[in-house]
Structure 1
Amino acid sequence: MPEKASSRGSGAKKGAPKYQNKFAYTHNRGSKTTKKILAAPVDGLCKRCTDQVMWRKQYRKYKPLTTPKKCVACEQKKVTKAYHVLCDGCANEKGVCAKCMEAEEIVEGHNPKTSQQRVKEQQELEQKLASMRERQRRSYLRKLRRGDIVAADIPDVCNSDDDFEYTDSEGEDEEEDEEEGDGDEE
């Protein structure tokens, strides 16, 4: 009998990977490396490459450069951003993506927040904190330090008393209503 040949021909696809990233990775809150990685701007890349680098950041696959790399065009150690093959000067000069080197539309800096936005958010935070009660302010700041909430998630609790339960006064009113009702029935 002839030996069995492989059922899969050369170049045939294997199928989906066993483990797929279906949900975002939960970053270590206190890690200095994570803060550095998330704060690093993604610029000088086309849309496709920007999405790839942002995916790496989101799923904790991004590895920052420790030393500058050699630029493919000028052959000097000027590449300081991870996954780039061209330095910023050569990429701007040629008008190409610094990662894939294709002449496509370059996405302008994909830094989540500019300095003006940060200052504006800081001012809004200070205004909201000033309008909160002491107990609410301390509770909010404690949750912020622990990392349970983000600074942008400021609750609008200045005028709401949802946290307080006035059971004493409500309980007395209910007892009075019951007493009046008992007397009418006899």
Structure 2
Amino acid sequence: MSCQRGNIARVRKQKHQNVTTFKNTLHDSSKKTKAINEKEIAEVCKRCQDIITWKVKYKKYKPLSQPKTCTRCHKKTIKDAYYIVCLPCAQSLEVCCKCGKKEEIVSHFSPSKTEQLQALAQLEQEVKALSERKRRAYYRYVDKLQGKKKKKKKPAEGAEDSTVLSDGGEEEAEEEAAAAEDYLKSAREKLEKLKKGIDDDFLDDLDDLDLSDDDDDEWEDEDDDS
């Protein structure tokens, strides 16, 4: 950069170039750093998500030592750093948890394993209350969903593949969580349809029936002859 008036653009490259990318776990393998890296960043807009991701990547993230006060309900319900709105208030007002503005939320918190088990148990209880025909239709649909999940997961072959899997363990965990969430959502939608009496197979059978006006005319002709 020159001292010349108006010359604010630097043409040359950075003097000291980085040979390798920065890794926050290179010299720090503590449980705290591991927990920060595994932390889920959700219920925020795209800009706020990028900011928190940068802080985590370059070891600038400072977790809270105690709960923080929400700016909307004024209760100490915030457990995530840099958030100003608690999760219930953000969901009810449809705002970002970090900036508090009405922006598009890029991702939501995935349910925990306990919540998933509770949701599955509740689904089973509701399925038992259905009739035999609807219950079989539900289980056929669930079997198809489970078959799709098994096809997506393929075993690794060779040592090179195993190293790749070990490096992408976090991505696999995220994919499994998303698949489980989609499974619960699809199963719930199917159950609600069966509860309302809307069965896809039954509707397909109705579409296949040919209820034309010619049949009605034939019935009228037979009545006249009689």
The normalised TM-score by structure 2 is: 0.42
Would you say the 8 A contact 1:25–1:60 is kept in 2? Answer: no
Shift of the 88–52 alpha-carbon distance from structure 1 to 2, 3 Å rule, reads: same
Partner of 2:63: 64
Amino acid at match of 1:151: S
Amino acid at match of 1:98: C
Local SS of the residue matching 2:40: coil
Query: Is the helix fraction higher in 1 or 2?
Result: 2
Partner of 1:151: 166
Partner of 2:210: none
Higher relative contact order (CA 8 A, sep 6+): 1
* Cα RMSD for the two superposed structures: 4.1
Would you say the 8 A contact 2:43–2:109 is kept in 1? Answer: no
Residues 140-177 of structure 1, C-alpha deviations (whole Å, 9 max, x = no match): 7xxx7xxxx870479xxxxxxxxxxxxxxxxxxxxxxx
Shift of the 15–79 alpha-carbon distance from structure 1 to 2, 3 Å rule, reads: farther
Cα distance, 1:26 vs structure 2: 3.5
d(CA) in 1 for partners of 2:168, 2:98: 35
Out of 27-36 and 97-106, give the one that drifted further. 27-36
Partner of 2:35: 36
Partner of 1:47: 46
Amino acid at match of 1:31: S
The normalised TM-score by structure 1 is: 0.50
d(CA) in 2 for partners of 1:73, 1:32: 33
d(CA) in 2 for partners of 1:60, 1:150: 25
Amino acid at match of 2:22: A
Task: Give % identity.
Answer: 32
d(CA) in 2 for partners of 1:91, 1:57: 23
Partner of 2:88: 89
Partner of 1:173: none
Would you say the 8 A contact 1:43–1:50 is kept in 2? Answer: yes
Ranges in structure 1 where 5+ consecutive residues have no aligned partner: 1-13, 17-21, 155-186
Cα distance, 1:64 vs structure 2: 1.1
